[in-house]
Amino acid sequence: MKKTGFRLIAIASLVAALSGTALAKNPMVGGAAMYENKNIVENAANSKDHTTLVAAVKAAGLVGTLEGKGPFTVFAPTNEAFEKLPKGTVETLLKPENKEKLTKVLTCHVVAADAMSSAIAKMIKDDGGEHDVKTVGGCILKAKEKGGKITLTDENGGVAHVTIADVKQSNGVIHVIDKVLLPKM
The listed CATH number (1.10.260.40, 3.40.50.720, 2.30.180.10, 3.30.450.20) that belongs to domain 27-177: 2.30.180.10
Per-residue model confidence as pLDDT tens digits over 94-138: 999 999 999 999 999 999 999 999 999 999 999 999 999 999 999
Per-residue model confidence as pLDDT tens digits over 127-185: 999 999 999 999 999 999 988 899 999 999 999 999 999 999 999 999 999 999 999 87
- Across the chain, the runs of DSSP E, i.e. the strands, are 72-77, 110-111, 131-134, 140-146, 149-153, 159-169, 172-177
Distance from C-alpha of 34 to C-alpha of 168, rounded to nearest angstrom: 8
Question: pTM for the full model?
Answer: 0.85
Domain ranges for the chain: 27-177
Q: Which residues lie closer than 8 Å to 121 by C-beta, 6 or more apart?
A: 145, 150
